[in-house]
Structures are given as C-alpha cells and as structure tokens.
Amino acid sequence: MTTPAPRRMAAKTIADDLRTQIKAGALSPGDVLPTSRELAESYGVTLKTVNAGIDLLKVEGLVIGEQGGRRRVRANRPIVWNLTRFERGSRRDSAAGDDWSTGIRDAGREPEQHVTVHTAQAGPEVAAWLQVPAGSDVVQRVRLRTVDGQPYQLATSSFPMSIAKGTPLMDQGDVSMPGGILASIGHPQLHVRDEITIRMPSPEESKQLQLPPGTPVAEHVRIGYGEAGPVRVMVTIAPGDRHRLVYEMDV
C-alpha cells in the first residue's frame, strides 16, 4: 500500500520548514527539535506524518536521534584539512605527535590516535599502489583518529615489508618522529599522488566513525613515492560532515 500523496506532501513541508530553520540558524547545532506532538499540533497532521518528515532530515544528516526519542540538530564542528600542506616540505612531526595531530592542535582542537599494527597480504589495490606482487606481505598501521573525543577519520597506512621490517613502523601504538618515520629510517617521501572518491560508508565504517544514516564519506588515497618507487599508501576515510578538504596551488 502506497502512502497517500497528501501525507507525503505534508511530510516534505515539515522537512522543508525545519531545514530552512537549520540553514538560517534559527535552529542551531545541538538544539533539540520540537517534539513530534508539538509539530503535529502546529501543522495539523498526525504523528506518523511528522516522523516521516523528520526521517527525511535524518537521511540528509541534518538531524540525529537520541535515547528517549529526542531529536537534535547535528552539532559536528568540521576540521579544515589542507591536503596541500599535509606532510609536505618541513613536516610538523615531533615526539609529541605526527603532522596530522600537530595540525589539529594548531587549530585549537584536541587530537588523539588509536593505532594498531599488523602484517597482512597485499590485496589487488594495495599491491597496485605499492607496485608489489599481490599477496605479498605488507605492514599496516591502522589509525582511528579522534578530535575532541569524537571519531573523525579512519586511516590505514600500508608499507612494503622490505621497507618496514625491523623499523619503528612495526611498533604498536601512536609512534611519531621528527620529520616522519619514513624519513627517519632513510625512505623519505619525495612526492605524493592523491586520489579522492566520494561514496557511502560500509556498515563497519559507519559503526567505527559513529555516522548518522545518510552521511557520505571521502576516501582519500595518498601514495608516497621515494627514490625507487612507492614507499607507502595511506587510505583515509573522512566523514563528509566533519571535514572541509582544501588544496592550494600555483596557476
């Protein structure tokens, strides 16, 4: 049985009105929405129609649901991720944190990285990026990056075993060194290639990043090249509502 057209139009009207209030700032990030009963009385519709309208905003990522039935305007504070400066030139790595963490602190935010390290067999994509045979051993450093205690990125860096074996790249935990680990072990990145894809997240990514329904992500692939070829590929999953990606270049 299909939903009657008047109900669909009423739900869309409620969503349009609330969206306009959110965009205009009448409903600010973190504000609690009026209750379903209040909205039903205001618009002269049923609770089912109100909930259908709010569901449209949930799918768009403008509204999130909470325990107890409350709905709030999503309140994420995006970070500016300048990919032109990231890991470029005189890197900001130190014993206190890598280039990414330093950039977050410089913006007045609090970074943290939860890092696990393991050996894996290179799948077709990683093998192509690193120019190694598929199935060959690589070392992977998997990071969950948080900002102010909230998950912001999933980043997996893969290194050829010939480069990583017996080096700090195999150490568990958030390891950082002045100039970056690769430079410190004699394999600096001399240039990089970036590939960015916009897509919907996998269920596992949604869970790890605590994504509301309907939130797209950017998949940022950075391949780092040394003198003899690729030395690292890093795949970062960045929620679209928590990032502003920036590039700067001379023309």
220: three-class secondary structure by DSSP: strand
Tell me the per-residue pLDDT of 193-237, one tens digit each, with 9 for 90 and over: 999 999 999 999 999 999 877 789 999 999 999 999 999 999 999
Looking at residue 1, what is its pLDDT? 41
Rounded-to-integer distance, Cα 59 and Cα 145, Å: 25
Pick one of 3.30.1330.40, 3.90.550.10, 3.40.1410.10, 2.160.10.10 as the CATH number of 79-246: 3.40.1410.10
Provide CATH 1.10.10.10 ranges for the chain: 5-73
Statement: residue 58 has pLDDT above 90: no
Tell me the per-residue pLDDT of 7-21, one tens digit each, with 9 for 90 and over: 667 899 999 999 999
Tell me the pLDDT of the chain averaged across its residues.
91
Looking at residue 95, what is its pLDDT? 73
Residue 52's φ and ψ, nearest 5 degrees, are -65, -40
Rounded-to-integer distance, Cα 200 and Cα 215, Å: 7
> Kindly report the CA angle at 99 between 96 and 102, in degrees rounded to 5?
55
Tell me the per-residue pLDDT of 133-175, one tens digit each, with 9 for 90 and over: 999 999 999 999 999 999 999 999 999 999 999 999 999 999 9
Q: List the CATH code of the domain at 5-73.
A: 1.10.10.10
Provide CATH 3.40.1410.10 ranges for the chain: 79-246
- Split at pLDDT 50, 70, 90, the class of 119 is very high
Q: How far is CA 235 from CA 25, 98, 106, 140, 157, in A?
A: 35, 16, 23, 11, 6
pTM of structure: 0.79
Statement: residue 96 has pLDDT above 80: no
181: three-class secondary structure by DSSP: helix
